[in-house]
Amino acid sequence: MKNQGILTGADGEERPARILIVGGGFAGATAARHLERRLPKAEIRLLSSENYLTYNPLLAEVVGASVLPGHVVAPLRQMFRRTRVHQVDVTAIDTAERRVAYRGLGPGSFRYDHLLIACGSRASLELVPGMAEHALPLKSVGDALHLRNRIVARLEEAELEPDPEMRRWLTTFVIIGGGFSGVEVAGEISDFVAASRRWYRHLDAPVRVIIVHGGAHLMPELPVKLGRFTERKLTRRAGVEVLLNTRGTRVDARGIELGGGTRLDAGTIVSTVGTGSNPLIDRIPAEKLRGRLRTAPDLSVPGVSGLWAVGDCAAIPNGGDDGPPCPPTAQFALRQGPQAAANIARSFRGQPTRLFAYRPKGLMSAIGHNRAVARVFGLNLSGFIPWLLWRGFYLLYIPTMARKVRLFLEWNWAMFFPPDIAHLRFVRTGGAADRPANPDSSGDAAP
Ligand X SMILES: Cc1cc2nc3c(=O)[nH]c(=O)nc-3n(C[C@H](O)[C@H](O)[C@H](O)COP(=O)(O)OP(=O)(O)OC[C@H]3O[C@@H](n4cnc5c(N)ncnc54)[C@H](O)[C@@H]3O)c2cc1C
Residue among 19, 21, 27, 315 that touches ligand X (CB under 6 A)? 27
Site pattern 67..106 for ligand X (x: CB under 6 A): ----------------------xx----------------
Residue among 78, 331, 370, 442 that touches ligand X (CB under 6 A)? 331
- Those residues whose C-beta lies under 8 Å from the C-beta of residue 203, and which sit 6 or more positions away, are 155, 158, 159, 167, 171, 197
Q: Does 293 bind ligand X (CB under 6 A)?
A: no
Site pattern 347..386 for ligand X (x: CB under 6 A): ----------------------------------------
Task: Single out the segment in contact with ligand X by CB under 6 A; choices: 44-52, 205-213, 246-254, 340-348.
Answer: 44-52
DSSP percent split of the chain into helix, strand, coil, nearest 5: 35, 25, 40
Q: Which contacts qualify for 252-256: CB closer than 8 Å, 24 or more apart?
A: 252/130, 252/134, 253/134, 253/443, 253/444, 253/445, 253/447, 254/169, 254/447, 255/169, 255/172, 255/174, 255/447, 256/174, 256/176, 256/212
What Rg do the C-alpha atoms of the chain give, in angstroms?
A: 23
Residue among 32, 34, 39, 57 that touches ligand X (CB under 6 A)? 57
Nearer CB in complex with ligand X: 239/328: 328
Q: Does 59 bind ligand X (CB under 6 A)?
A: yes
Residue 28 CB, shortest distance to ligand X, in Å, is 5
Q: Does 181 bind ligand X (CB under 6 A)?
A: yes
CA distance linking residue 78 with residue 361, whole number of Å: 29
Residue 415 CB, shortest distance to ligand X, in Å, is 21
Site pattern 105..144 for ligand X (x: CB under 6 A): -------------xxx-----------------xx-----
Residue type, 110: F
CA distance linking residue 33 with residue 29, whole number of Å: 6
Q: Where are the alpha helices (DSSP H) in 1-140?
A: 26-38, 59-63, 131-134
Residue among 21, 136, 269, 333 that touches ligand X (CB under 6 A)? 333
Strand order in the sheet with 107-111: 89-94, 99-103, 107-111
Residues that bind ligand X (CB under 6 A): 22-28, 47-50, 56-57, 59, 89-90, 118-120, 138-139, 180-181, 278, 280, 311-313, 328-331, 333
